[in-house]
Structure 1
Amino acid sequence: MPKDYKNFFKRLSEPLLLPLLSVVLFQSYIFIFLAPVPLIYGHFRYGRILGFIFLITSLLLMGLLETSPLIPLFFLLFVILIAFVFSEISKKKLPIENLLIRSIGVLLICYTGILFFISKGHPYEYVLNVGNQYVSSLPHILENKNVPANLTQWKESLIELSKNAAPFTARFIQEKLVAYIICGLLLTLWLTIVILKNLHISVTSNDLSQWKAPDHLVWAFIATFLFSELTIPVLTPISKNILTILFVIYFLQGLSIATFYFSYKKYSRIQKSVGYILLSVFPFLTTCFGFFDLWINFRSHMGKPTRKTVWNNSRKEG
């Protein structure tokens, strides 16, 4: 009987905890990229109907916890919408790149439509005004915050930045905003695929450790790198956005190489976690592995017997 009660409470508590976990991750800021994962897991674990209930429950929880309507709105756009779109598209078991492209494409269309509606057909001016207001309000926000002594210089630089809000905001919107949104979605969906795989839920038709970016992207990388160093009114901002996205793509390819290596060496989960943390601490090194994989093909060299091993095996056979 106690065992039956234990199973009953486990089945009852797990669905209730998933929306709460998503809200906690969203409010943690550090793990905000993981906020959609519990909702996506619930969608696959308990089905579409309960998955929709989880989405609504998490939004209601966020509305109860926050007095400002903006936070639940951001939660709706960047957690619930991501969880819903990814859950529906991933049921088709597409290749990794197709799954990412379709999911991010649908999300960008939704965000663009919402932005056009809110801005009444003037999205750039709307985002620029909101950005200027936020940057200009930094001195007032920082005055109410207890900043540690070692961050005082950082605080002063932000206050100085707020005095030149207009040019900084315009440059950020033109050169970085779109890239940051796409890169954030890329990292969120990639982490989701990795976590679901560890929970024995496969959402792609190919193996994550074998994933490789298309070879022709290297030409786009070289071209955007060159144009980003020039000063051409329209082309330079576009090139900088694309270059940032390509950096993240090659970073993810570097992680795929690491995943292949960890699986080949049969590392434990703790060893893999330490390895991924180190790779995240040194993202430039991971990106270099992904970029130069086009010529070196690291995975093809893993598992090959060394000359010493071949010599020892031949002596044993002899």
Structure 2
Amino acid sequence: MRETMACALPFFLSGVLFITGIFAVFAPVPLLLLSGHKDRKRLWLAVVINSAVVLIAGGRTSLVFFGIFVLTMAISLPVFLRRCRSVERAAACTLLAMAAGWLLMAVSYAVVYKANPVTGAREQVARLVDYLSQSVSSEMRSQISSGADLEEWKKSLITEVPSAIAVFSLVLVWTSIVIMIRLDIGRIRERFKISDEYLRRWKAPEYLVWPTIASGVLLLFKAGAATDVATNIFKFLMAVYAIQGVSVLSHAFEVWNIRGLLRSIGYLLAVFIMMPLLLGLGFFDLWFDFRGKIRQT
């Protein structure tokens, strides 16, 4: 009975995890488990069934997001891991595939509805902000918007939609790669010669420092569209350095022999409460080599 349930889970679990919202980052994992199976028909059957689950429970809009965030990534990531020379390149190619999915969706929207997809996105965000502002108290609304005017908050949210999508896509890809390494799905460890210390020693490519600094400097000036583009680039690149910060933190926990529940609590505190510290650890690790200093302690 248990074996039957284990075999059946990938055929609906991805859709269920995505619908929950909270566990959406784990939605690609069941499909990734099937990606290493010799019978490709099982994977495509799981894709169809999970898509049906999302369509029934969440509607067409949820299905579109599921298709781009989950299906595109779950199908393309294993392919790029087999063809690329490094994990980082496979991750970058997967993100580009997801970006192509968004572009295809925008073109399809423009053709079907004879409308500008950017204008449609702005209208949807504006409706969401209006709904939230009417649903919460004035004090809570002020806290959420950081005291900003409602119209300014709308404009800020609309401007940052691309970076929000990109960061969530990055988190999805990173989470999936970590799980694939832990479970050695598709013999990823053997292919890339990944040791047990790989995730604790991972560093972002050094060339990302300069676009991060340049985009950060542009945030100091009000240059219209250029500042908006710089804002999105800066937030995405800082998300990459947040991942490096997690690697530094993981190395510290390993050196200090912090395991189990305490390590989980440490990660949660770092991500949800001390994010600036995590970003600092990741970004400045290039110059200060925090892992080397931690080893010395």
**What is the TM-score when the length of structure 2 is the normalising length?**
0.82
Please give the secondary structure, in 1, of the residue aligned with 2:206. coil
Change (3 A) 1:258 1:122: farther
Shift of 1:113: 2.3
**Cross-structure match for 2:214:** 223
Kept in 2: contact 1:15–1:42 (CA 8 A):
no
Structure 2: stretches of 5+ with no match in the other structure: none
Give the letter for the 1:43 counterpart: S
**Cross-structure match for 1:62:** 54
Change (3 A) 1:231 1:275: same
Kept in 2: contact 1:211–1:253 (CA 8 A):
yes
2:243 and 2:115 map into 1 onto residues whose CA distance is: 30
- 1:161-194 alpha-carbon deviations (Å, 9 max, x no partner): 9974xx7655544x42222111111111111122
1:101 and 1:183 map into 2 onto residues whose CA distance is: 13
Q: How many residues align?
A: 288
Q: 1:197 aligns with which of 168, 181, 198?
A: 181
Change (3 A) 1:126 1:83: same
1:141 and 1:183 map into 2 onto residues whose CA distance is: 23
Choose 1 or 2 for highest CA Rg: 1
- 1:181-223 alpha-carbon deviations (Å, 9 max, x no partner): 1111111111112223333436462422221112232222222
Change (3 A) 1:213 1:124: farther
2:144 and 2:261 map into 1 onto residues whose CA distance is: 39
- 1:90-136 alpha-carbon deviations (Å, 9 max, x no partner): 23464232122111011112221221232139999322234224523
Please give the secondary structure, in 1, of the residue aligned with 2:203. coil
**Cross-structure match for 2:18:** 26
Give the letter for the 2:283 counterpart: F
Change (3 A) 1:124 1:272: farther
Structure 1: stretches of 5+ with no match in the other structure: 1-8, 307-318
Kept in 2: contact 1:138–1:162 (CA 8 A):
no
Change (3 A) 1:117 1:226: same
Shift of 1:158: 8.5
2:251 and 2:150 map into 1 onto residues whose CA distance is: 49
Kept in 2: contact 1:225–1:240 (CA 8 A):
yes
Kept in 2: contact 1:260–1:299 (CA 8 A):
yes
Shift of 1:262: 3.1
1:276 and 1:289 map into 2 onto residues whose CA distance is: 13
**Cross-structure match for 1:313:** none
Shift of 1:224: 1.2
- 1:259-310 alpha-carbon deviations (Å, 9 max, x no partner): 2333444543433322221221211101100111111112223434x6xxxx
**What is the TM-score when the length of structure 1 is the normalising length?**
0.77
Change (3 A) 1:261 1:45: farther
Change (3 A) 1:142 1:170: closer
**Cross-structure match for 1:120:** 111
Change (3 A) 1:158 1:227: closer
Q: 2:162 aligns with which of 178, 197, 213?
A: 178
- 1:39-80 alpha-carbon deviations (Å, 9 max, x no partner): 1123236753322222122112223334x3222232222222
Shift of 1:138: 5.2
1:59 and 1:124 map into 2 onto residues whose CA distance is: 26
**Cross-structure match for 1:236:** 227
**Cross-structure match for 1:106:** 97
Give the letter for the 1:225 counterpart: G
- Structure 2 residue 65 is matched with structure 1 residue 79: no
Give the letter for the 1:189 counterpart: V
Give the letter for the 1:262 counterpart: F
292-301 or 244-253: bigger deviation: 292-301
**Cross-structure match for 1:154:** 140
